A and B are shown apart, each in its own frame.
Chain A
Amino acid sequence: MVQLSALLDTTFAALSDATRRGVLEQLGRGDASITELAGAFHMTLTGMKKHVGVLERAGFVSTRKIGRVRTCRLGQRRLEEEAAWIERYRRTWAARFEALDTVVEDLKQKEASRGRSEQG
């Protein structure tokens, strides 16, 4: 449980800040350097480095330094989370639709037993 609460703390702390959520949104549109992010959010380089560090430790962002430029992109975790969320969303509806199949089948049977033959 210690491990879990530590992970949750890191996750929620990373997402609790509006700038950091904004950074994730921006990186969702494309990779960006720390300098570009600092400019976009009107912050100092040092301030932005801190935010990116928090996101990086939580697995939401990964960075790579090429020459003097550190480029940030969405981390694997963020992409996996989106895929997992979409799958949960799909399953929610798939479960409903399976139940809906039964209801629709009943309606079809009732209609057939009333002897209607026209198709909608």
Chain B
Amino acid sequence: MDAASKAEPNPTTAERTSDVEMTVTRLFDAPPRLVFEAWTKPELLLRWWAPRALGISFVSCEIDPRTGGSYRFVFRHPDAPQPMAFFGRYLEVVPPSRMVWTNEEAGETAQVTTLTFEARGGQTLLTLCDRYPSKAVLDEAIASGGTGGVEGSFEQLDELLAELG
């Protein structure tokens, strides 16, 4: 944790907000247009979407952030022999306040992600909501331990090993 030297980051909340939804919120110390920019320019996304703390690194990032446009993120994880791709379409893009996209790598069980940017004085309240096709799908995602990156399953195994050790 090299964050110790800096001020404490704003808190991130995560909650299962319904049978089919997971919601994450976070406040950023900048107006929506700047936070939105960081979500919609590939060269900026490359700098934050796969931080070292998650153990994954970007191979490529292609996005066309318009309603109907598509995106494709390719990553590498040291434990996975092949790179992994995350891809989908932007169902709605309203600069600088709202984006909705599909997560097609997950096939039929894919969630749809809605991201909103709300001005709060000079700050931005970011709300990310993953909506799953059914309660069963979200329950199963929880039971299988994945969190949309591969890190979840490894961390889960670490926890299990620690518990047994």
Contact = CB atoms under 8 A, between A and B. Distances in A.
Nearest to B48: A99
Given A82-B142, A119-B122, A92 B147 contact: yes
Q: How would you classify the secondary structure of chain A's contact residues: helix, strand, loop or mixed? A: helix
A86 B146 CA distance: 10
A21 B136 contact: yes
Contact of A100 (B38, B119, B159): B38
Contacts of A66: none
A117 interface: no
A61 interface: no
Given A86-B15, A89-B24, A90-B12, A103 B142 contact: no
Given A7-B160, A107-B37, A119-B122, A97 B9 contact: yes
A87 B54 CA distance: 14
A85 B32 CA distance: 29
Nearest to B55: A95
A113 interface: no
Contact of B48 (A22, A88, A103): A103
A108 B29 CA distance: 9
Nearest to B1: A98
Interface string A61-104: 00000000000000000000110111111101111111111111
Contacts of B126: 97
Contact of A84 (B10, B38, B51, B159): B159
Given A93-B24, A103-B44, A120 B38 contact: no
A104 B126 CA distance: 13
B73 interface: no
Contacts of A25: 135-136, 139
Contacts of A88: 145, 147, 151-152, 155-156
B80 interface: no
Interface of A: 3-4, 7-8, 15, 21-22, 24-25, 28, 81-82, 84-90, 92-105, 107-108, 111, 119-120
Given A98-B9, A104-B34, 8 more contacts: A7-B164, A22-B136, A85-B142, A85-B147, A89-B148, A99-B51, A107-B37, A108-B29
Interface of B: 3, 9-10, 12-16, 22, 24, 26, 28-35, 37-38, 44, 47-51, 53-54, 96, 119, 122, 126, 128, 135-136, 139-143, 145, 147-149, 151-152, 155-156, 159-161, 164
